[in-house]
């Protein structure tokens, strides 16, 4: 039976949970997730976790933070003057916002803390520092890239 190798394009159904069993994402009710194994499209632990699987196989992957979205990085916390918020907005911890950098690129942040003159913003990925658990089912191995050498 054919097994997944790097370079294959595969389709999987998945259910992603945190260690406390809280669901953060699932393909339930949607088409299976399709990606090329080893192409950097997925977090490293998911990418390597499907290697060797066969179509129809089910597996649970437990992925450490280092193989998922990495550890929480202190340099991703920033202070933002509270007086730069719109006057009708009351910043509160846990509030999600979109910031714009100097090049006009938007990125998500979450308010980590509100102090008297500044708001502490967290630009880490929401799943940074967390162990992830994926229940996956390999639906299809669609094949990989082929190299044809012409004489």
Between CA 91 and CA 122 the distance in angstroms is 13
Does position 106 have pLDDT exceeding 60, yes or no?
Answer: yes
Please tell me the least confidently modeled range out of 42-46, 60-64, 130-134, 147-151: 147-151
pLDDT of residue 104: 87
Q: Pairing state of beta strands 96-100 and 77-81?
A: unpaired
CATH fold of 74-122: Thrombin, subunit H (2.40.10)
- Residues whose CB falls within 8 Å of the CB of residue 141, separated by 6 or more in sequence, listed in order: 2, 3, 4, 8, 9, 10, 54, 55
Does position 149 have pLDDT exceeding 60, yes or no?
Answer: no
Output DSSP code: residue 130.
Answer: -
Structural contact between residues 10 and 37, judged by C-beta atoms closer than 8 angstroms: yes
Phi, psi of 58 (to 5 degrees): -115, 150
Does position 127 have pLDDT exceeding 90, yes or no?
Answer: yes
pLDDT of residue 142: 83
pLDDT of residue 100: 86
Global model pTM greater than 0.85: no
Average of pLDDT values for 75-81? 95
Structural contact between residues 80 and 118, judged by C-beta atoms closer than 8 angstroms: yes
pLDDT band at 102 (very low <50, low <70, confident <90, very high): confident
Instruction: Check residues 8 and 104 and name the one with the higher pLDDT.
Output: 8
- C-alpha distance from residue 3 to each of 47, 55, 83, 142 (Å): 14, 8, 57, 11
Among positive and negative, which fits the CA dihedral 114, 119, 122, 126? positive
CATH fold of 8-70+127-144: Chitinase A; domain 3 (3.10.50)
- Residues whose CB falls within 8 Å of the CB of residue 102, separated by 6 or more in sequence, listed in order: none
In the chain, domain spans: 8-70+127-144, 74-122
């Amino acid at each position: 039976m054919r097994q997944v190798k790097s370079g294959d394009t595969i389709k999987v159904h998945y259910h992603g949970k945190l260690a406390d069993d809280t669901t953060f994402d699932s393909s339930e009710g949607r088409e299976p997730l399709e990606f090329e194994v080893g192409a950097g499209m997925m977090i490293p632990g998911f990418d390597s976790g499907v290697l060797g699987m066969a179509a129809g196989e089910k597996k649970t992957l437990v992925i450490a933070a280092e193989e998922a979205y990495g550890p929480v990085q202190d340099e991703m916390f920033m202070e933002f003057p509270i007086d730069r918020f719109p006057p009708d907005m009351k910043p509160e911890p846990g509030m999600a916002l979109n910031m714009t950098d100097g090049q006009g690129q938007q990125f998500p942040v979450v308010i980590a803390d509100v102090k008297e003159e500044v708001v502490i913003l967290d630009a880490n990925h929401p799943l940074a520092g967390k162990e992830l658990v994926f229940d996956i089912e390999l639906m299809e191995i669609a094949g990989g890239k082929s190299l044809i050498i012409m004489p």
